[in-house]
A = this chain, B = another copy of it.
């Protein structure tokens, strides 16, 4: 399956929920908006027959996800070596390896599931049973490949930095070729992907509405606090406009 231009991703058995199908969405606008709302994902792969889930950071660029190689040298090596990484010492490109060896041959890429979850609130119903969570999530299945082209890797890393802090990639020293060679990036083409969204209020049973318990939604937000300057920052260095005021 390849990602073809169009309004929606094709629905497959794997991306069809068995429950709450009304919460599922496949249109690019919904999927992309959720992916663009976050920059931390959970990367799943299979190692020695068992599942492994590791957090890493990512950015969406068109119909591709780029994942930073902070999830261990072994999964990244398994996802493919190329000219850009030839001769690298073992594990030199990964930031955060766990001791897992995925079940994949390097030339085949790495079978992955990438999941992004944005929590928007806790729904407090009068009944324990109807408590719920407002959330937006995307689950993407596919085969990830290591990005071997240095220019594509540089663009991907810029996109990842800007996904967390828009505007930052243009305001730092770019990576040197040597640094770039030490930074692994995984690419996953968005093809078999779905969104799931729960929004809204309390859905209590009618018979519970007169109970004395408070009911409603607790909104949940993630935000940046005041920037904490590096102690070595030269006095007078201005706070850039893309950062929140202290």
A142–chain B nearest beta-carbon distance, Å: 9
Partner of A183, one of B52, B129, B202, B219: B129
The answer for the CA separation of A82 and B99 in the assembled complex, in Å, is 34
A1 at the interface (CB under 8 A from B): no
**CB-contact partner of A51 in B44, B57, B173, B223, under 8 A:** B44
The interface-forming segment of A25-33, A59-67, A117-125 is A117-125
**By CB atoms of chain B within 10 A, which of A55, A221, A243 has the most?**
A55
* Complex contacts, A225 vs chain B, CB 8 Å: 218-221
Chain A, residues 125-161, CB within 8 Å of chain B (1/0): the string is 1111101010101010100000000000000011001
**Which range holds the interface residue count of chain A?**
35 or more
| Interface residue from B50, B171, B244 paired with A113 (Cβ < 8 Å) | B50
CB distance from A56 to the nearest CB of B (A): 9
Q: Contacting A214 at CB < 8 Å: which of B42, B223, B229?
A: B229
If A55-B135, A161-B128, A234-B210 touch, whether A218 touches B227 (CB-CB below 8 Å) is yes
A42, A54, A125, A221 pick with most chain B CB within 10 angstroms: A42
A167-210 with Cβ < 8 A to chain B: 168-169, 171-176, 179, 182-183, 194, 196, 201-202, 204, 208-210
Minimum Cβ distance to chain B for residue A3 (Å): 18
Q: With A42-B42, A135-B55 in contact, do A173 and B208 touch (Cβ < 8 Å)?
A: yes
The reply to whether A214 and B201 form a contact with Cβ atoms under 8 Å apart is no
- The answer to whether A239 and B221 have CB atoms under 8 Å apart is no
Q: Does A73 contact B (CB under 8 A)?
A: yes
Contacts of A127 in B (CB 8 A): 172-173, 175, 179
- A37 on interface, CB distance cutoff 8 Å: no
Asked whether any CB of chain B lies closer than 8 Å to the CB of A2, the reply is no
Judge whether A105 is part of the interface by a CB distance below 8 angstroms.
no
Asked if A9 is at the interface of the complex by the 8 Å CB criterion, the answer is no
Compute how far the CA of A204 lies from the CA of B163 in the bound complex, rounded to whole angstroms: 21
A-B contact pairs, 17 of them (CB 8 A): A17-B96, A17-B97, A19-B97, A20-B97, A40-B133, A42-B115, A51-B51, A122-B165, A128-B158, A128-B175, A129-B179, A202-B232, A214-B233, A214-B240, A216-B230, A218-B224, A219-B224
